[in-house]
Amino acid sequence: MLAGLAVVAIVAVAVPAIAGSNKPHHALGVAKKAKKKANRALKLARRGVEVGGAPSFAEVNGSASTSSTSDYVPLGGPSVTLSVSQAGNAPSGTALIEVAAQAHIDDDAGAVALYQDGSPMPGQSDVCDQVAGTPGPALFTSTDGLSGTWSTPASIVFTGNCGSTGPAAPVMFVTTPGNHTYELRYAFCGCAGSDATFSQRKLWVTPLG
């Protein structure tokens, strides 16, 4: 859409200039410049689509379990890799993303955390960590003895969990421009039972640009 408008605007400027000129060479030069500007506008528009705006999505339907209470462990994803651009009207080296995540967690309480390039993503809920006794800040945690689908955002409710029971909603994180890989990792809260089992795991990451 933006590319089309850019091309239309360039042509609208070029055509009167060509029509009003009595010099063929001048008219040809104007036409070439207009074409060059149109091609540049198309490239910028395409680059904008590739770099930011569209959400990346991945899911893993199969179940996997962990008994780890000291570290978040990878259980086969989901994960996404994308390019994040410099955020407008922000300090240099600043990029913004929105993340939504969801997982079905069986009766024994578990926690889900976001990792960026193999390291814990800064800005997750340290309150979840305190309430559920997780290995570190989490995107969300479940309640022991209550099997179900849990999702972002983190929110403490009367059942003692630190997450949402409705559709996954996005939360914002600050990162750096460039290519990044985002992955969900998992932990057992150790309240009861021997491990936590996760299935129907979903991850959405949207670069804001």
- CB burial of residue 25 (10 Å; 0-12, 13-18, 19+): exposed
Q: Provide DSSP, 134-200.
A: -SS-BSEE--TT--EEEEEEEEE-TTS-EEESSS---EEEEE-SEEEEEEEEEEE--SSSS-EEEEE
Q: How far apart are CA 106 and CA 10, in angstroms?
A: 59
Q: How far apart are CA 152 and CA 64, in angstroms?
A: 20
Alpha helices in 52-160 (DSSP H): 126-132
Query: Which helix (DSSP H) or strand (DSSP E) does residue 63 occupy?
Result: none
Q: Helix, strand, or coil here: 38? A: helix
70: Cβ contacts below 8 Å, ≥ 6 apart: 135
One digit per residue, the tens of pLDDT, for the chain of length 209 reads 444 444 444 444 444 444 454 555 665 665 666 666 556 545 444 443 344 579 999 999 999 999 999 999 999 999 999 999 999 989 999 999 999 999 999 999 999 999 999 999 999 998 887 877 889 999 999 988 889 999 999 988 655 668 898 899 999 999 999 999 999 999 998 777 889 999 999 999 999 97
Token pair belonging to 4: 């089309």
- At 30 the pLDDT is 58
- At 16 the pLDDT is 46
Strand partners, 151: 102, 164
Q: How far apart are CA 115 and CA 127, in angstroms?
A: 18
Q: Note whether 125 and 139 are within 8 A (CB).
A: yes
Question: In this structure, how many other beta carbons lie within 10 angstroms of the beta carbon of residue 8?
Answer: 12
- At 130 the pLDDT is 81
The pTM of the full predicted model, rounded to 2 decimals, is: 0.74
